[in-house]
């Protein structure tokens, strides 16, 4: 029979836990705050702990740090109804076994106890994270984001290579910066390079640097991003767009942990941690022959997937208020909040551009707002449901029906005009151009988002745009 310590200042929660633990064959110990928890832990030596964060006296995180210092093998499960990235990552950094949002369900308790009693966690030292109000901070209290925060906390404790996946606009670079900010190398540089934004002929020099005279125009030595990162983080954004020849060179750098500047044979050690990100499915890119399998497995040591905003609906209100505060500061406005009708419109929107689209929407709306609160009249939403991602069979059938009618009318017109060239390619080219233009409009000219909406590889989209 195991002793389970429950720490919460709400008597009803403690009693509910006691009944559950008794039914599961465990003995419960009850504490109302962190100080009582420490005393019971010292006298009763529990096998596991469920502990709230916000309590009078010593709070849960303070007690967690002391418990881990005195009992490093004791699994402590943190619970809170007010989960933020700070509390989640701080808890995981301090060595919490897991982190749960209230209310906690019986299956969660059973599952966590089975794991905690089977395999305890070891301690780790913690550090004070930055304020959640600062610019560029990740925001979210939904269950999917709590899982992201927990994994970020674990990854901040080591220097493993990380692959961050997720749609465009979900905040992959913010996650990478968060991992770095909470790590032991937070004082070292965070250097980011967008593999899709730099011309292929310059990308090798940007990554590894070059010597004077290495190629035409190389008038002086240049330090590359690998060297600039020092012992910090080298963030490779949109890694799927890395040209295939450079993928082999990057693989060798990761394997040997060294590189050479272009035009030099001097080997320079790679000290930086590598964090890569992709909005493309790299497994599909690999099967299509566009991404090296060996590089994929080298980067895919740990994968952190960020859910799209439509999968974390519970965070929309929180994010909207967060971006409202930022927009007030940037635009020198003083809006006091967001009315309920406006929040409902935001909740119903499909958000094809994810968190970035929400941020831009709130900023535009705050700029145009005339009242003290942001109303539904102020919202500048491009569309309510994205036509390329919303699945509505009746709408789809109607759209195809209209396309069929338009095709028949166009063919009749072309035939009556006695056109010499075949109409098929002209019509397909016209429809293709309309689709591309609409995708670019909906994505605010973001080619990565537009290519995802169209189901095209970004290089294919670029080629079609050039050929128009």
Domain spans in the chain, listed from the N-terminal domain onward: 3-118, 158-305, 311-374, 393-466
| 88, 96, 273, 315, 369 from 319: Cα distances, Å | 17, 26, 30, 6, 18
pLDDT at 29: 93
What are φ and ψ of residue 220, in 5° steps?
A: -155, 165
pLDDT at 104: 76
pLDDT at 396: 47
Matching CATH number, 311-374, of 3.40.190.10, 2.60.40.1120, 2.60.40.1260, 1.10.8.60: 1.10.8.60
Sequential pLDDT tens for the chain (468 residues):
789 999 998 888 898 888 889 888 899 999 999 899 999 999 999 999 999 988 887 788 899 999 988 998 899 998 877 656 677 778 887 888 888 877 777 877 887 888 788 643 333 333 333 333 345 567 888 888 888 988 998 898 888 999 999 999 999 999 999 999 888 898 999 999 999 888 877 888 889 988 888 787 778 888 889 999 999 999 999 999 999 989 999 999 999 999 999 888 899 999 999 999 999 999 999 999 999 999 999 998 999 999 999 998 889 999 999 999 999 989 888 888 898 888 989 988 989 899 999 999 999 999 888 778 898 888 877 644 443 334 444 444 444 555 665 666 666 665 555 555 566 777 777 788 888 888 887 776 777 777 777 888 777 887 788 776
Tokens encoding 350: 């499909």
Torsional class of 444: left (φ above 0), alpha (ψ -120 to 50), beta (otherwise): left
CA distance 53 to 220: 56
Helices (H), 160-289: 172-181, 200-208, 225-228, 244-256, 282-287
Q: Structurally, what CATH architecture does the domain formed by 393-466 represent?
A: Orthogonal Bundle (1.10)
pLDDT at 307: 93
Q: Structurally, what CATH architecture does the domain formed by 158-305 represent?
A: 3-Layer(aba) Sandwich (3.40)
The two domains 3-118 and 158-305 share their CATH topology (first three levels equal):
yes
- Determine the CATH number of domain 3-118: 3.40.50.2300
Q: Do residues 73 and 120 lie in contact, with contact meaning Cβ atoms separated by under 8 Å?
A: yes
pLDDT at 219: 80
pLDDT at 416: 55
DSSP structural state of residue 309? G
């Amino acid at each position: 029979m195991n002793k389970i310590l429950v720490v919460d200042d709400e008597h009803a929660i403690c009693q509910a836990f006691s009944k559950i633990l008794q039914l599961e064959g465990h003995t419960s110990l009850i504490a109302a705050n962190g100080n009582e928890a420490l005393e019971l832990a010292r006298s009763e030596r529990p096998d596991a702990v469920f502990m709230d964060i916000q309590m009078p006296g010593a709070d849960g995180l303070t007690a967690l740090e002391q418990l881990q210092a005195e009992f490093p093998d004791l699994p402590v499960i943190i619970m809170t109804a007010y989960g933020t990235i700070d509390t989640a990552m701080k808890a995981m950094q301090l060595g919490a076994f897991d982190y749960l949002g209230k209310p906690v369900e019986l299956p969660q308790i059973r599952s966590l106890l089975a794991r905690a009693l089977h395999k305890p966690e070891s301690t780790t030292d913690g550090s004070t994270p930055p304020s959640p109000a600062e610019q560029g901070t990740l925001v979210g209290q939904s269950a999917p984001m709590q899982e992201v925060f927990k994994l970020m906390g674990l990854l901040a404790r080591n220097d493993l290579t990380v692959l961050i996946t997720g749609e465009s606009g979900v905040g992959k670079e913010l996650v990478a910066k968060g991992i770095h900010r909470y790590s032991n190398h937070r004082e070292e540089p965070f250097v980011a390079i967008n593999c899709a934004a730099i011309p292929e002929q310059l990308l090798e020099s940007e990554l590894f640097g070059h010597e004077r005279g290495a190629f035409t125009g190389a008038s002086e030595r240049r330090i590359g991003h690998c060297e600039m990162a020092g012992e910090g983080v080298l963030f490779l954004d949109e890694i799927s767009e890395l040209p295939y020849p450079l993928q082999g060179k990057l693989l060798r750098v990761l394997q040997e942990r060294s590189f050479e500047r272009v035009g030099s044979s001097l080997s320079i050690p790679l000290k930086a941690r590598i964090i890569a990100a992709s909005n493309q499915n790299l497994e599909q890119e690999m099967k299509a022959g566009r991404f090296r399998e060996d590089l994929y497995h080298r980067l895919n040591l740990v994968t952190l997937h960020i859910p799209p905003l439509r999968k974390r609906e519970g965070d929309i209100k929180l994010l909207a208020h967060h971006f409202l505060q930022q927009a007030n500061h940037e635009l020198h406005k003083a809006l006091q909040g967001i009315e309920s009708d406006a929040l409902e419109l935001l909740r119903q929107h499909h958000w094809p551009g994810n968190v970035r689209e929400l941020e831009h929407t709130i900023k535009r709306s705050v700029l145009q707002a005339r009242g003290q609160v942001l109303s539904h009249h102020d919202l500048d939403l491009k569309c309510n449901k994205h036509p390329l991602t919303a699945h509505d069979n009746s709408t789809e059938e109607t759209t195809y029906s209209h396309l069929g009618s338009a095709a028949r009318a166009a063919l009749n017109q072309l035939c009556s005009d006695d056109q010499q060239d075949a109409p098929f390619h002209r019509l397909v080219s016209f429809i293709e151009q309309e689709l591309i233009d609409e995708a670019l409009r909906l994505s605010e000219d973001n080619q990565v988002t537009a290519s995802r909406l169209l189901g095209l590889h970004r290089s294919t989209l670029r080629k079609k745009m050039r050929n128009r």
